[in-house]
Structure 1
Amino acid sequence: MGQNPSLIAGYMEELYRLQVSEVAEVTIQRLLALVVMGEDKQQIEKGPHGYHFKRSTFSQNGTSAMTSNGNLVTIDKVWHLAEMNDALLGPRPALKHLCMSFSLFKLLRRRFARYPLVEAGSEKAFHFVRGILLTDGADADPEAVFRVITDELSFAWDFYYSSHPISHLGKWLPIMSIMTSLFTMAFCIFIVITLAWKILPEYKDYRVMSCELTCGEQDNDRFHDIGSILFVLVPTISLLLVVLLGEVWEIISYVCSNWTKVTLVCAYTAKPSWQKSRIMRRLIACFLWCRCKLMNYWGDKMGMTSLLDPCKRKGHIRHLFRLSKAMKPTKIPKPVKAALINSLKGSNGQLSNGIASLQKCHLRDDIRWACNGEGTSDIILVWHIATCIFEIRHMHDPSERHSSPDENDDMITAIHLSKYCAYLLASCPELLPDDTPWSKELYKSAKKITDSVLGSTDMRCFEFDRMMQLLSEKSKSNEVVCKGVQLGKQLVDGIQNENKGWNMLAEFWSEMMLYVAPSDNTKAHAKAIARGGELITILWALLTHAGIIRRPEHDNVV
């Protein structure tokens, strides 16, 4: 398992070396030969850059082939079996996506192990992601795309922070592990039943200790029993029950694990005899049916905070204890996922810091300056403040708005991504491109000014003009807040159609999220995975597979 990143890196180098035909055709047909399982059974050889598969692993057309010492299960084999209406995989399309997630997890491990990515900057990689994950039709569902990447990150979490990978190292290890758990459970049940059956009914006859009094002349009542046996039985039975529940959870977590599902699917794919056996199909289907919601790695939530929260009032008890509702995780809306996926599809692999979204806005020449800054953190803060101002300006008359569902989606996307970027600055600046201390100081200085403004005006009474006046006065000492107020005024005064404004802001924040996602700070993303994942980590992994591992050199280039 320790050689796995090196093997996968060598495999990908060989796979890309053999591709000489058209980009789109090669991407769909040949890059699907990504390894799922079986690489540990192949013949390997040492090379100048680590371990490599022997050339016999590949056929002449660049696809994977069976070797004499084991079967290499790849994505194309699993998908081919599913598309042939196999009795097991045909009715369960989620299984082929789960195998794709496991294969992508192995590719992502190269990033954590700091192996070079042969697909970095390659058009083939972007066409692969767009052709397989972002295709038109049913597979273009943003929920499905996010599910593939979150399952991939769940495999990464299991690999680095759980014992699931060790349990699947050998054929007999899982069986021995389950047998050990069953034996432990049987022993605990036997002890608990024995104690409950034999001792509890007569617990009054048992004492913890017996004392003999040797002083005094009378021999009567020389022996005294002290303490009830329940003081020993209750902790003992409780401990046994805890051990019993632990072993039950161990078996459930193994049976319901995605690792088990992928292992069974790969074994089924590699063995034609299993495919012909109705008994094996039913047995495997029973394992695949088992699910446990408690094992969900990804909560499908995003943190949110705001420098100008319309609902925030200084003096509330919840703010004294920093329990602001805005800091609590919020479920990621479907429009946000759709906007991010559509932005990636339309980027053609060329990221923009939001300036591309201004092309359809008549104010593009007037607000183009807001996309230039010392880094990305100051640009985020400027646009976040402007988005908050635009939101506050149009929050007073929701009954007068006659917008279509798509226009409401734009508003939801812009507000959520704006507040999520502010949350990253406040809580996870290490996931952003700029220097962490600089980003923290930038956010704190801006927050100090906005908090003083929020404490001076009642947002619930919608004192918009009063708020803008205070912001203009107090932001003179802070360049970022001053620019944010200036941009907010331009958006409010220059965009007469509110829906068009939200559309432009939604496209801007979608582009900005993709722009800040590439990062070489794998340690920060590993920590994010350990605590349950972040939206930006999902985008980071998705862009990695698309061959996008860094941003353009010039921010203002579209």
Structure 2
Amino acid sequence: MGLLSPARISQLDYCLRYFNMTWRQGEGESNSNNHMEGDLMMQRAVMFTAVLMAILGGTLCVVGLERLIRGRSTLFSMVRFLLRFTFVLFLPLLSYMASHAEGKEGQLQFVLLWLLLIELVRKKVEVMVRSADGSFSRAADRFRPMGHSDEVTRLVWIGYLIYSSIIGQGSTLVMTMFSILWLLALAKLGQRVLNEWRAQESLAAAGSAHLISGYMQHVLEEEESQSGGGGSGSGASTDPMANCKYLVMGEEKLVLKKTGQQPNSKVLTTPHCGYGVGRFPHDQDEQKHVHLLIDVNKVKSLVTVNQIWSELKQTPAPLCCFSNRWRNFIDHLRFLCLSFSFFKLLRRRFEHYPMVEVGSKMARRLMLEGLLNNHEKEPDRNAINAFRVLQLELDFLDNYYQAGVPVVISAPWLFFVNFLMSLLFVSIYVFAVLVIVTLGADENLGRYIIIAMLLVITLLSIEITELLTVYLFSNWFLVHLLCLYTAPGSCLWNCLAKPIICSFIAFRFLVFNSFKLMLRLTGRQIKTTKIKIKQVSILQDCEPIKKLFAWASHVTLATEAKVAIVESLKGIDLGTGNVSLPHISGFNSRGKTATEIILACHLATELLDMAHGKRKKKKKKQQRQPEDCDRTVATTLSRFCMYLVARAPELLPDNEPWVSDRYEEVKSCLKEASRRCYCGAWGRQSWKAVMETNKEHLKNPTAWAGVKLFQQVRTEDSAAAWKNLAEFWVKLLIYLAPSNDVEGHANALASSGGDLITCLWAFCTHAGIRRQHEDDGNQV
């Protein structure tokens, strides 16, 4: 009984209670430690992501300016992708910190500040990497209120968090700062809605394609009336560029504000027009007609290519020491305006408006004689200029379907208002950070301040990049200034405005040349005229080791190849504009599809290149032999066509499953023949054995046709063989370029910025060049 005395029971109860309390306290301390470690890890992750976003934002600004000079050969797209990736990664980390901010007033206030700033960045980052599906269409300009429903929901939720967490619980100054910032974020959302609505209603942005269709109908009718229906125009013996009435800017002036017939009005219609095919010939169903009431007197006030061409030709150099460089810059400005005009014409193809001039002699003469000659005696310069115009045209087209460009075109002042509002938001944001720091006492306050400032740097970097690349230093703004400069004006305009425009153009010229000098000092090449094309060799693709290193390599398109393509385009008949399937001696292409022809002739070209051994490296200032030039053209274009078969079948005339199946069959046949001929090993000797094989060892008819063609051309003179192959591949590439598959080229342009085949497709679209079947003469 002594063990159960009241004193013993009291002592035992005390010990049990103490032990239980100690155990629970220890468990609580353990959970608290784990929670603190988790918070610390998340804070470090947020810090790391914010640092990465700030670095990428600064890099985006530099690379964006570099892209204006060096073209698409920069890392601009990759930086935008990485910035969006880090932004998406930052959102769940921020959500975690917001959910674990209970009892931490300083952390909660900073998280709310970050959320408000993120809402300003979100829309810009989301459109950086867009889907190519449907982005090049009339729907891209359409205003959709439901498209902003997510933004409204997020802002309402953030406002509720501010109201429930800050309003009534903090100081008056903090409450005021958060209220102003939330209202500014709401105003920015309203401005984005206004921007989209204005871009949709603007005749210079969304309505431009419709007006261009009507204007080109007017130009074509005038051309036909002057030439008596022949379509060649009254100035057929002069420079086509000097008589080119393609519109550069000012189409919004055509539309009459009042309805009904006016004394100087004219109704324009586009009868017998299918989308993107023109009036010559009538071979497709009608899709969309244009009916437009214009003021005929306003036509003379429009800025056209011939005005730019003649006005800029008379511009003197500002300094004698820069005369040659300035003249090259003036030529670049002229071609830039021509590219912008082509971009407006090509937009109709994507938005399904009629291209009435396509197929006319006026259009073919402008493209085949004007663009491909441009009054230069050197063939190399002709080819470089022609491809440069096409590249700039595709750049304009790709940039237009991004978020900021339609806003700039429709109402530039809205763009400046957006930038000024962002600066106002940042100023109040920084002031709010200082207020929270003054009133707060959180141990992690320093880390929160750094994250807040890094987000500010990211926002400013994106805004500055957009301001410089989309507006101030953009090619569109330069074209706009040139149109203002060449447009007729009053004496006051000529004395005040034009010198300012010239000063800004000269300033841009000096800035770009300074930036080019900096790039050269850092070892960066500046070749704005080069075209990078992808290469695939079916022999390398059959070998497992080489396949890893040559999946789709890039090479610079040689000038010899550009010249060969341009010379072949010049030979197209102005009257018909038809291109037929090329033939090469020793290969029967009758009954074969384009995919089978590419596979067989590519195999023959690769085997011949291997049989002739490695090419000797050209020394500096050493002129290349014609045979070496032809060999370069043939192998480069052959591997590019094989790249289309292996990696981009949607750009070929044949359907994609057929292209993929034929490619896999030929590749499997070559693998089996190589292993059987040389004991299962890979290498040069195995392909030499394939060169000597016969039809029994090559079961695939396409592979055997390629080997048979190689065995025949190998017996010919090497110079003649390479010349014939080079001509064949040039003509085959031109034969593949015309296409009605607008969606395929839109996807290629939106994803990779377009390629050589897309440049040629744009050229063939403007000139009305079409494929013709050799048997029945039908155009395809």
Same fold (TM over 0.5): yes
Q: For 1:551, what is the secondary structure of its paired residue?
A: strand
- CA-CA distance at 1:451 after TM superposition: 3.1
TM-score normalised over the length of structure 2: 0.59
Higher helix proportion:
2
Aligned to 1:125: 363
- CA-CA distance at 1:134 after TM superposition: 0.7
Q: Cα distance 1:524–1:299, how it changes in 2: closer, same or farther (>3 A)?
A: farther
1: CA distance between counterparts of 2:614 and 2:483? 57
Asked if structure 2 preserves the Cα contact closer than 8 Å seen for 1:472 and 1:482, the reply is yes
2: CA distance between counterparts of 1:337 and 1:435? 28
Q: For 1:18, what is the secondary structure of its paired residue?
A: helix
1: CA distance between counterparts of 2:696 and 2:594? 25
Give the letter for the 1:76 counterpart: N
1:322-350 Cα shifts (integer Å, max 9, x gaps): x3325122222222211111110123333
Aligned to 2:99: none
Q: Does 2:581 match 1:350? A: no
Asked if structure 1 preserves the Cα contact closer than 8 Å seen for 2:580 and 2:773, the reply is no
Q: For 1:351, what is the secondary structure of its paired residue?
A: strand
2: CA distance between counterparts of 1:303 and 1:555? 33
Q: Does 2:479 match 1:262? A: yes
Query: Mapping of 1:84-233 within 5 angstroms?
Result: 84-85=314-315, 92-135=330-373, 136-137=375-376, 140-184=381-425, 207-208=441-442, 227-233=443-449
Give the letter for the 1:552 counterpart: Q
Give the letter for the 1:50 counterpart: V
Q: 1:536 aligns with which of 757, 765, 773?
A: 757
Asked if structure 2 preserves the Cα contact closer than 8 Å seen for 1:268 and 1:274, the reply is no
Q: For 2:580, what is the secondary structure of its paired residue?
A: coil
Aligned to 1:41: 253
- CA-CA distance at 1:432 after TM superposition: 0.8
Asked if structure 2 preserves the Cα contact closer than 8 Å seen for 1:105 and 1:155, the reply is yes
- CA-CA distance at 1:118 after TM superposition: 2.1
Asked if structure 2 preserves the Cα contact closer than 8 Å seen for 1:302 and 1:330, the reply is yes
Q: Cα distance 1:521–1:557, how it changes in 2: closer, same or farther (>3 A)?
A: closer
Which moves more between the two structures, 429-438 or 264-273? 264-273
Q: Does 2:212 match 1:12? A: no
Q: For 1:161, what is the secondary structure of its paired residue?
A: coil
Q: Cα distance 1:186–1:144, how it changes in 2: closer, same or farther (>3 A)?
A: farther
1: CA distance between counterparts of 2:429 and 2:698? 67
Aligned to 1:214: none
- CA-CA distance at 1:54 after TM superposition: 2.7
Q: Cα distance 1:172–1:128, how it changes in 2: closer, same or farther (>3 A)?
A: same
Asked if structure 2 preserves the Cα contact closer than 8 Å seen for 1:393 and 1:464, the reply is no
Give the letter for the 1:250 counterpart: E
- CA-CA distance at 1:373 after TM superposition: 3.3
Give the letter for the 1:539 counterpart: L
Q: Cα distance 1:269–1:507, how it changes in 2: closer, same or farther (>3 A)?
A: same
- CA-CA distance at 1:431 after TM superposition: 0.7
1:54-75 Cα shifts (integer Å, max 9, x gaps): 36158xxxxx512xxxxx1111
- CA-CA distance at 1:38 after TM superposition: 0.4
Unaligned runs of 5+ in 2: 1-204, 257-265, 270-288, 319-325, 520-525
Asked if structure 2 preserves the Cα contact closer than 8 Å seen for 1:307 and 1:447, the reply is yes
Aligned to 1:376: 594
Question: When the two structures are aligned, how many residues end up with a matched partner?
Answer: 502
Q: Cα distance 1:16–1:191, how it changes in 2: closer, same or farther (>3 A)?
A: same
Give the letter for the 2:214 counterpart: G
Q: Cα distance 1:537–1:36, how it changes in 2: closer, same or farther (>3 A)?
A: same
1:388-421 Cα shifts (integer Å, max 9, x gaps): 121111116859xx99433211111100110000
Q: Cα distance 1:394–1:344, how it changes in 2: closer, same or farther (>3 A)?
A: same
Asked if structure 2 preserves the Cα contact closer than 8 Å seen for 1:413 and 1:506, the reply is yes
2: CA distance between counterparts of 1:174 and 1:8? 25
2: CA distance between counterparts of 1:57 and 1:131? 31
Q: For 1:119, what is the secondary structure of its paired residue?
A: coil
- CA-CA distance at 1:97 after TM superposition: 0.8
Q: Cα distance 1:387–1:530, how it changes in 2: closer, same or farther (>3 A)?
A: same
- CA-CA distance at 1:554 after TM superposition: 2.0
Q: Percent identity?
A: 30
Aligned to 2:73: none
2: CA distance between counterparts of 1:17 and 1:95? 29
2: CA distance between counterparts of 1:307 and 1:102? 39
Asked if structure 1 preserves the Cα contact closer than 8 Å seen for 2:674 and 2:687, the reply is no
Aligned to 1:76: 306
Q: For 2:735, what is the secondary structure of its paired residue?
A: helix
Asked if structure 2 preserves the Cα contact closer than 8 Å seen for 1:181 and 1:251, the reply is no
1:344-367 Cα shifts (integer Å, max 9, x gaps): 012333313222xx5xxxxx4xx2
Aligned to 1:341: 566
Aligned to 2:708: 486
Asked if structure 2 preserves the Cα contact closer than 8 Å seen for 1:411 and 1:506, the reply is yes
Aligned to 1:216: none
Q: Does 2:536 match 1:305? A: yes
- CA-CA distance at 1:437 after TM superposition: 1.2
Asked if structure 2 preserves the Cα contact closer than 8 Å seen for 1:32 and 1:76, the reply is yes
2: CA distance between counterparts of 1:183 and 1:177? 10
Q: Does 2:737 match 1:512? A: no
Q: For 1:54, what is the secondary structure of its paired residue?
A: strand
Give the letter for the 1:286 counterpart: F
Q: Cα distance 1:121–1:431, how it changes in 2: closer, same or farther (>3 A)?
A: same
Query: Mapping of 1:56-75 within 5 angstroms?
Result: 56-57=296-297, 64-66=299-301, 72-75=302-305
Q: Does 2:465 match 1:245? A: no
2: CA distance between counterparts of 1:464 and 1:434? 29
Q: Cα distance 1:433–1:521, how it changes in 2: closer, same or farther (>3 A)?
A: same
Q: Cα distance 1:429–1:397, how it changes in 2: closer, same or farther (>3 A)?
A: closer
Asked if structure 2 preserves the Cα contact closer than 8 Å seen for 1:112 and 1:522, the reply is yes
Give the letter for the 1:352 counterpart: S
Q: Cα distance 1:514–1:233, how it changes in 2: closer, same or farther (>3 A)?
A: same
1: CA distance between counterparts of 2:493 and 2:776? 57
- CA-CA distance at 1:183 after TM superposition: 3.9
Asked if structure 2 preserves the Cα contact closer than 8 Å seen for 1:9 and 1:116, the reply is yes
1: CA distance between counterparts of 2:675 and 2:429? 61
Give the letter for the 1:512 counterpart: L
Aligned to 1:452: 672
2: CA distance between counterparts of 1:109 and 1:297? 24
2: CA distance between counterparts of 1:112 and 1:505? 35
2: CA distance between counterparts of 1:92 and 1:315? 51
Asked if structure 2 preserves the Cα contact closer than 8 Å seen for 1:372 and 1:556, the reply is no
Q: 2:646 aligns with which of 401, 423, 426?
A: 426
- CA-CA distance at 1:303 after TM superposition: 1.1
1:262-301 Cα shifts (integer Å, max 9, x gaps): 1111122225455544344213432455558999999821
Asked if structure 1 preserves the Cα contact closer than 8 Å seen for 2:248 and 2:341, the reply is yes
Asked if structure 1 preserves the Cα contact closer than 8 Å seen for 2:242 and 2:310, the reply is no
- CA-CA distance at 1:461 after TM superposition: 4.8
Asked if structure 2 preserves the Cα contact closer than 8 Å seen for 1:274 and 1:280, the reply is no
Asked if structure 1 preserves the Cα contact closer than 8 Å seen for 2:603 and 2:703, the reply is yes
- CA-CA distance at 1:131 after TM superposition: 2.4
2: CA distance between counterparts of 1:368 and 1:313? 24
Q: Cα distance 1:388–1:296, how it changes in 2: closer, same or farther (>3 A)?
A: closer
- CA-CA distance at 1:450 after TM superposition: 2.1
2: CA distance between counterparts of 1:131 and 1:382? 34
Give the letter for the 2:462 counterpart: G
Aligned to 2:607: 389
2: CA distance between counterparts of 1:248 and 1:116? 38
Asked if structure 2 preserves the Cα contact closer than 8 Å seen for 1:188 and 1:244, the reply is no
